[in-house]
């Protein structure tokens, strides 16, 4: 069985796969403060999360991770090595991804963006556009020639909301839910309208411009914590896939198995 870890700025997503498919019913999610976790805490958290789903840690015979927070990468590497006796594959542009990379600076592309691109290409075909709605909104494009050609990055919904509340003392904090109408009849609904409908417009405009530059139709798949909320109003998003990044990790691992091993 394969252990996959997507370590982001806010959320760590964990998946367990067999050779061909995910064996847990749902991926596991854990929120953590990056400055307050040790490798022992990470290892114990990982053990407990898997145990809560009835997945024994001894069943793991491979591991792969992507991480966008440099200070966390070594912590989770040590956790997997010490608690699972595995040396994980670490996603980078140096691996065999199964897709090409045509970028000015390939080494600058985030590991999560590469995993999303691989997952989208593998599951939805090429060309394809992947929209990840997390701490940042990443839009990634794989061409018909199976080459990652870039995309767009914007502040995420939660990031914008936190900035709004931190700089406007009288505005209340609100849940990121769809308001009843665009014209908010109270402050809460007005904020929800600006964030939900405003960000839907942002994503749709970027995707429309990207598709115009591609010069062809392409499936658009969304993932991330706020994917469902925005996708329900979007004119461009055709599917929501919460496990897209983990699926990309599974595919990448399959192409790079020889890069992992048991820790002696």
DSSP per-residue letters across the chain: -EEEEEE-SSEEEEEEE-SSSB-SSS-EEEE--GGG--HHHHHHHHHHHHHHTT--GGG--EEEEEES-HHHHHHHHHHHHHHH-EE-EE--TTS--SSEE--SSGGGS-HHHHHHHHHHHHHH-SSEEEEEESSEEEEEEE-TTSEEEEEEEEE-HHHHHHHHHHH-TTSPP------S-SS-SSHHHHHHIIIIIHHHHHHHHHHHHHHHHHTS---EEEESTTHHHHHTT-SS--EE-TTHHHHHHHHHHHH-GGG-EE--
One domain for residues 119 and 60: no
One domain for residues 39 and 160: no
One domain for residues 71 and 24: yes
Number of folded domains that form the chain: 2
Does the annotation mark 112 as catalytic?
A: yes
Q: Is the pLDDT of residue 183 over 50?
A: yes
User: Percent of the chain scored above 70 by pLDDT?
Assistant: 89
pTM: 0.89
Per-chain mean pLDDT for the chain: 88
Please tell me the predicted confidence (pLDDT) of residue 25: 44
Choosing from 112, 132, 140, 241, the catalytic residue is 112
Please tell me the predicted confidence (pLDDT) of residue 26: 46
One domain for residues 80 and 104: no
Q: Is the pLDDT of residue 262 over 90?
A: no
CATH of the domain at 113: 3.30.420.40
């Amino acid at each position: 069985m394969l252990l996959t870890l997507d370590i982001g700025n806010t959320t760590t997503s964990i998946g367990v796969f067999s050779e061909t498919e995910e064996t847990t019913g749902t991926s596991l999610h854990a929120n953590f403060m990056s400055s307050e976790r040790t490798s022992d805490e990470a290892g114990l958290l990982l053990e407990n999360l898997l145990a809560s789903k009835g997945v024994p840690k001894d069943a793991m015979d491979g591991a792969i991770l992507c991480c966008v927070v440099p200070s966390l990468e070594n912590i989770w590497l040590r956790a997997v090595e010490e608690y699972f006796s595995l040396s994980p594959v670490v996603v980078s542009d140096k691996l065999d991804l199964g897709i090409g990379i045509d970028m000015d600076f390939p080494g600058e592309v985030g590991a999560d963006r590469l995993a999303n691109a691989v997952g989208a290409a593998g599951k939805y075909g090429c060309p394809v556009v992947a929209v990840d709605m997390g701490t940042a909104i990443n839009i990634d494009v794989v061409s018909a020639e199976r080459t990652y050609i870039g995309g767009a990055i914007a502040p995420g919904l939660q990031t914008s909301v936190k900035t709004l509340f931190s700089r406007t003392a009288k505005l209340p904090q609100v849940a990121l839910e769809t308001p009843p109408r665009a014209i908010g009849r109270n402050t809460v609904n007005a904020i929800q309208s600006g964030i939900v409908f405003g960000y839907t417009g942002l994503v749709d405009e970027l995707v429309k411009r990207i598709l115009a530059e591609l010069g062809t139709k392409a499936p658009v798949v969304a993932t991330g914590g706020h994917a469902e909320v925005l996708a329900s109003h979007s004119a461009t998003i055709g599917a929501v896939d919460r496990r897209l990044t983990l699926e990309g990790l599974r595919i990448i691992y399959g192409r790079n198995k020889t890069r992992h091993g048991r820790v002696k």
